[in-house]
Structure 1
Amino acid sequence: MYEERPARLDGAVLWTLTPRVGAPPVPVLPDGCMDVIWSDGRLFVAGPDTFAYVPEGAARRHTGIRFAPGDAPALLGVPASELRDRRVELGELWGGATARRLGERIAEASDPMAALDALALRRASDAPAPDLLLRAVVRRLRAGRPVAETAEAVGLGARQLHRRSLDAFGYGPKTLARILRLQRALALVRAGMPYAEAALAAGCVDQAHLARETRALAGTTPSAYASDWAKRETPQPSGSSTTA
Structure 2
Amino acid sequence: MNGLTGKTALVTGGSRGIGRAIAERLAREGALVGLTYRGDETAARETVATVEAAGGKAFAFRAPLGEPGDARALWEAFDRHADGVDIIVNNAGIAGPGLIDEVSEEDYDRVFAVNAKAPFFIVQQGLRRLRDGGRIVNISSGVTKVAFPQMVAYAAAKGALEVLSLTLAQTLGARGITVNAVSPGTIETDIHPWMADPELKAGAAKYSVFGRVGQPADVADVVAFLASDDARWVTGQNIDASGGSGLGL
Shared fold (TM-score, shorter chain, > 0.5): no
Q: What TM-score does the superposition give when structure 1 sets the normalisation length?
A: 0.30
Higher helix proportion, which one? 1
